[in-house]
Structure 1
C-alpha cells in the first residue's frame, strides 16, 4: 500500500467513524452526564478552550509514547469445537501491533511498570482489534467515576490520595499497580482486555468472556537495582532487537464467565479458576515493519468494537465509550 492509498484509507475511515461522536454517553444511572469531548479532555488534561487548542497543535493523545511493529496470528482450530467464530478458521492472519506507555507524555520514562499492547488483526473473514494492558482490574465501572479519576490523577499526589480515600475501585487499582513488578521487556507481560465480550457457541448460545494474552517466554522482571541502571528509553530497542533473533509470542485465551459473574463491570477480576479457551498464538516478528500500515499505525485508532461474526459487545459502559472517544482523540490530531 502506498502513502497516498493509506491517506485515502484514513480519510475514508474518518468519514465513516464521525457518526460515532453523536452517540450518547451514559453514566451508571443511565443519564447522560459527560460528552465524548469532555471524557477526552479529562484524559488529555485539557479542561478549557485554551488548553484544548494547545493540545491540538501538539497532537496531544493518550499512550503518546509508543511504537509499531508487526507479526502474525495463528488460530487454534480446536476453538471451533466450542465457539462459532469463522474469523479464527484462517490458518495465519497478519497483525500490526503498537506497544506503548500510558499518558500523554511522549518523553515518559520506561521505568514505570505500565505496559500496553494494541493489535490490528485483519483476516479474510473480517477484522478484530485489541486494546490491552498489563493491569487486570480497571479503575472505574461507570463514566462518572472514569471522568473523576482522570481529573484527580492530574492533581498529583493529593488527587491520588483523594481517589484512594473516596473511590474503592480506584484504590484497588492503585494497590494492584503499586505491587506490580517492572518487566524487562514488552514481551514479558500478561496483557488483559478488562472488558467483556459475548461469544457465539456452536450451540448458538452466548458465552460471555474476556481476552487475555499469556507470554510464552514467561515473566522477566527487573529488580530495583537493575531498574536503577536502565536508561529512560529501553523498551523499544529491547523488543525490536530481540524479535530479530527470536519472535515474541503470546497465547491468546478467552476466560469464560461463570453464572453469577459480573459481566459489565471491568473493575471486578474473575477468579483464575474460570474456564479458559485457547484462541491461538500471537507471534510478533517484525516481518512487515517497513509496510505503510505498520509504519503509520500510530496515526490510526485501534477500535475494540470492530468485531467479526460470532463476537459482540457487552453492555459495559466503559467498553461502549471507547470507540467514540478514540475517534474524538483521532480527529483532534488531524
Structure 2
C-alpha cells in the first residue's frame, strides 16, 4: 500500500511541477523526485505528512489555510550573492572536477528557522543555504549553526516536529522520552547569539561521500568557518538590537567588506557513524580546506538571485565525485522540499 501511494504521489508531483514552473526550475526539482521512493519506503509517514509536521498543518483545514499564505519553514529570510573560490590544492585531496574551476557564482539565502516570517532575530538559530552553479554542474548546501540534529530517522523527525508545536508540554515530553531531542535542546541552549550572519559558523549535519585521487571514497561533513571569526552578542548588546537586525546588518556589511567563510570537509574516521546526524564526530578529526565562499552582493540584480525563493536548495544536487550517504534524514530532504515548494505555488 505504501509503495502504491508513493508511486501515485510521485506522478502527481511531476504533473504539478510541469504545469506550474519553468524548465530551469524543473531540472532542480526532478533531481529529487527519484529519492521520493526511498524516503517514503523508509518510514510509515509519507513525505506530505512530514511536511505537515514541520508546518503544523495536521488536517485538511489547516493545510489549505497554509497553502493560502504559502506556509514554509525558514519563512524569514533573504537572498544575496557572491562567489566560490576552490582551494588551490584541493584536487590533491579529492577527485572532484567541479573544483577545477577558478571562480564559481553563488546564490545565498540566509534565514531563521520556523514558519513565522516575523520571528525575532534575537534567538540563537542561524541558517545558510547556497547554490554554487558551475559551468556544467551545481553544488547546493543546506546548513545551520547547530552541529547536530534532533532526530536520526524519519519517525523521530515527525514526532519531534509534532511535539514542539505543542509548546512547553510537548518539549518536555521530548526531553523525557527522546534522548536525541534532549541532547539537541541542550546543545542549542548553549549556542551564542551571533552579531551577524557573517560571524556564524555553519554546519552540514549530514554526511557525504567524496572521491579521492586513488579511486577510494571517504565520508565527510561540511563546515563553514567565518573568516571574521565568531562574534557573539552579550545580553546587554542584544537588548539594543531590533527584532529585524540581521538582514540589514549583512547587506550593509557587504557594501564595503565581503562576508567570507572558509569551507572545510571534516573527514570521518573508520569508527564514525556516517548515517546518523545526531552523532557528533570528535573535534580531532582531520579537516580539508575546500575553498572560500565570498558573499559580496554583486550579482543581486540577477533574476536567479531575486527569484531564489522560487526554487529549492537541493542538498543532493551534487557534482561528479560527491555522493550522498545513506542517511535517511539527508535523503528525505529533497522530496520534502519539493512538496513544501509545490504547496507555495
TM interval, shorter chain, is over 0.9
Q: RMSD of the alignment, in Å?
A: 1.6
Tell me the CA shift for residue 228 of structure 1. 1.3
How does the TM-score come out when normalised to structure 2? 0.92
Equivalent in 102, 116, 119 of residue 108 of structure 1: 119
How does the TM-score come out when normalised to structure 1? 0.95
Is 1:172–2:183 an aligned residue pair?
A: yes
Tell me the CA shift for residue 20 of structure 1. 4.2
Instruction: Give the equivalent residue in structure 1 for 2:26.
Output: 12
The ranges of structure 1 where at least 4 consecutive aligned residues each deviate by more than 4 angstroms after the TM superposition are none
Instruction: Give the equivalent residue in structure 1 for 2:293.
Output: 282
Tell me the CA shift for residue 149 of structure 1. 0.2
What are the residue-to-residue correspondences of 1:197-236 with 2, within 5 Å? 197-236=208-247
Tell me the CA shift for residue 8 of structure 1. 2.5
Equivalent in 264, 267, 272 of residue 261 of structure 1: 272
- What do the CA deviations read for 1:290-334 (whole angstroms, capped 9, x no partner)? 111001101210000000000001000000000000000011011
Cα 1:15–1:277 change in 2 (3 A) is closer
Contact 1:24 1:32 in 2 (8 A): no
Cα 1:14–1:57 change in 2 (3 A) is farther
Contact 1:101 1:116 in 2 (8 A): yes
Cα 1:94–1:272 change in 2 (3 A) is same
Counterpart secondary structure, 2:109: strand
What are the residue-to-residue correspondences of 1:30-69 with 2, within 5 Å? 32-69=43-80
Counterpart secondary structure, 1:144: helix
Structure-2 separation of matches of 1:234 and 1:212: 25
Cα 1:238–1:277 change in 2 (3 A) is same
Structure-1 separation of matches of 2:286 and 2:94: 13
Equivalent in 171, 180, 187 of residue 160 of structure 1: 171
How many residue pairs end up in the alignment? 326
Instruction: Give the equivalent residue in structure 1 for 2:98.
Output: 87
